[in-house]
Structure 1
Amino acid sequence: MSSQHLPDEPATDTGGGLVRLRLDLAYDGTGFSGWARQPGRRTVQAELEGGLTTVLRTPVHLTVAGRTDTGVHATGQVAHADVPQDAWAAQGGRLVRRLRGVLPPDVAVRAVTEAPPGFDARFAALARHYAYRLTDADGGPSPLRRADTVGWPRRLDAGAMDAAAALLLGRHDFAAFCRRREGATTIRTLLALGVARDGDVVTVEASADAFCHSMVRSLVGALLAVGEGRREPGWPAALLTRARRADEVAVAPPGGLTLLRVDYPADADLAARVQVTRALRS
């Protein structure tokens, strides 16, 4: 492994009277242009940083566990921020409630805690867990789940999709399923990928050490081709030999995807995990 840092994953450090806070977040991604700040666009990061800056009365910059794309949701997102010790001490247990009063209704901070030494929301993470929900019901998704469930126009064979998913597990170069970013690796360890049907709802669950840009929705897109009978179950895994994105893989719509949870090691192992993750995968 090389010690080169990924250009889109800047290291952050504490010091100088700062305290690192862990924030546990949830949001409905429908009205956002993704997580990351973008000029002239509404983003989750901008809304949260604005709310935190208002309440803490100091500029706040967030580092997130996983940058979600436009329209993607989260129920278990994690971020950290380094803020002055006195600003944190002045708010204490009131911060979550005060943020509720300044944030829009489609984003919520569930908890804010002082992070243990070595914690980094991005680099210390062991795994990210996502779910993609869709329904092939003739009437489309339930009105109460329309924001996080995609209506699919054709019947799906969830068993065939699950068989195809099993062939993708493990450590591979997922270049065929990623939108490449200059200097960023596409090698990932896919820890879990499964498809299950519950009535008219089909759910794809995916877990990995990390996901590259559009990887989950591209995996879902490939599995949907299998579920519709247009491709054989072995087709998605055969694409792992590609060195670049496979144009024939459709990216599934964003509204069905939700970041469920981010896993971290025990406090004593945080610093070691950060060092491992910062190293460029070879």
Structure 2
Amino acid sequence: MDDNDTTVRLRLDIAYDGTDFSGWAVQPGRRTVQGELEAALARVLRLPSVSLTCAGRTDAGVHARGQVAQADIPAATWESEGERVARRLAGVLPKDVRVTGARLAPPGFDARFSPLFRRYAYQVSDAPYGVDPLLRRYVLWHRSPLDADRMNEAAARLVGEHDFAAFCRKREGATTIRELLRLEWERTDRYLLRGTIQADAFCHNMVRALVGALLAVGDGRRGVTWPGEVLGAAVRDSSVHVVGPEGLSLEEVRYPADGELAERATSTRRVRTLPCRGHSA
């Protein structure tokens, strides 16, 4: 793209079945959501390349109904192709990924840094016979019966702003302080539970580690205070099992009003710390 070209920013709303993808991010020699989308966009927009930035990178096998990404393209390209982008993408994308919306982003929009929160869902079956075959790509099987009330009691102790280092895979230079806004479970069918996990942002493996800890409470292997005790230690705990990706789906990314997008992005970029809670000798 010529640096002298006037560019516009697109917002893309995306859904995908993550089963056959090696995650969102482009990886050499692997099939990824980003790779498929960038190739398809370059084709339908007749551009040499298109670069996407998403709201939250999902791991291999994780699904999405509400992923959001942005792409900066020449204004002239959007003027000539914009109204047809979503329909034309439907003709070239593989069936396990869809662009459900494509539109100009408002000023200040940043897919990664502007969100107020991301909301995930996790589905678990505790059926003694295993998962319904028609749901096997989207539901984790747990071999023991689960008590949703115990799981919710334990989950309530984790809500709020904390250092979630105990439930994250540490990345160099990245904070593990997050504000967990919602963590709750409901039984949606006789043998099916659905967890809702909502936070301003998530660190690597955080959702699946939290689910793993709560499943251990739900089947009675751990007490309801255990996840909170693990959280308080603020160090990665090997006793926390990171569950499989198949039950996890990114359901929603919520952004503020258009006039607050830029301010939100600036605030999110700041390195977060927790207030001092005491003194050490």
Q: TM-score, normalised by structure 2?
A: 0.94
Counterparts of 2:10 and 2:220, CA distance in 1 = 48
- 1:99 paired residue among 89, 95, 100: 89
2:183 corresponds in structure 1 to: 193
Provide the identity percentage: 58
Asked if the contact 2:164–2:176 (Cα under 8 Å) also holds between the matched residues in 1, the reply is yes
Query: Residue 15 of structure 1: CA displacement?
Result: 8.4
Total equivalences in the alignment: 269
Q: Which residue of 1 aligns with 2:27?
A: 38
Contact 2:90–2:98 (CA<8 Å) still a contact in 1? yes
Partners of 1:245 and 1:47 in 2: CA distance: 34
1:218 aligns with 2:217: no
Offset of residue 16 of structure 1 = 4.3
| Residues 152-203 of structure 1 deviation map (CA, whole Å, 9 limit, x = unaligned) | 2111111111110011000000000000000000000000000111221011
Partner of residue 153, structure 1: 143
Q: Deviations over 1:60-104 (max 9, x none)?
A: 100100000110000000000000111111112211111011110
User: 2 CA distance for matches of 1:164 and 1:243?
Assistant: 17
Question: For residues 56 and 244 of structure 1, what CA distance do their matches in structure 2 show?
Answer: 47
Structure 1 segment 117-128 matched on structure 2, within 5 A = 117-128=107-118
Shift of 1:239: 1.0
Alpha-carbon deviation of 1:47? 0.4
Q: CA RMSD in A?
A: 1.2
Task: Supply the distance in 2 between the matched residues of 1:44 and 1:256 (Cα, whole angstroms).
Answer: 18
Write out the 4+ residue segments of structure 1 that deviate beyond 6 Å after TM superposition.
none
Q: Which residue of 2 aligns with 1:279?
A: 270
After superposition, residues 198-277 of structure 1 pair within 5 angstroms as: 198=188, 199-277=190-268
Residue matched to 1:69: 59
Gap regions ≥5 residues in structure 1: 1-13
How many angstroms apart in 2 are the aligned matches of 1:212 and 1:161? 21
Distance (Å, rounded) in 1 between the aligned partners of 2:272 and 2:42: 35
Find out whether 1:170 has 2:160 as its counterpart.
yes
1:273, 1:137 → 2: CA distance? 43
Give 2:276's aligned residue: none
Q: In 1, Cα distance between the equivalents of 2:105 and 2:129?
A: 46
User: CA separation in 2, counterparts of 1:194 and 1:210?
Assistant: 17
**Hey, what does 1:90 align to over in structure 2?**
80
The 10-residue stretch of structure 1 (225-234 or 88-97) with the greater mean CA deviation from structure 2 = 88-97
Find the aligned partners of 1:144 and 1:95 in 2 and give their Cα distance. Answer: 32
Give 2:279's aligned residue: none
SS at match of 2:72: strand
Listed as ranges, the gaps of 5+ residues in structure 2 are: 274-281
How far off is 1:144 after superposition?
2.6
Structure 1 window deviating more from structure 2 (87-96 vs 219-228): it is 87-96
Where does residue 8 of structure 1 map in the other structure?
none
**What is the distance in 2 between the residues matched to 1:226 and 1:186?**
23
**Residue identity opposite 1:129 in structure 2:** R
Aligned match for 1:183, one of 173, 194, 200? 173
Question: 1:81 maps to what in 2?
Answer: 71
Counterpart of 2:246 in 1: which secondary structure? helix
Please report the TM-score for the alignment, with normalisation by the length of structure 1: 0.93
Query: For residue 20 of structure 1, what is the aligned residue in structure 2?
Result: 9
TM-aligned CA deviation for residue 138 of structure 1: 2.2
Structure 1 residues 168 and 108: alpha-carbon distance in aligned structure 2, compared to 1, 3 A threshold: same
The separation in 2 between residues aligned to 1:56 and 1:16, in whole angstroms, is 15
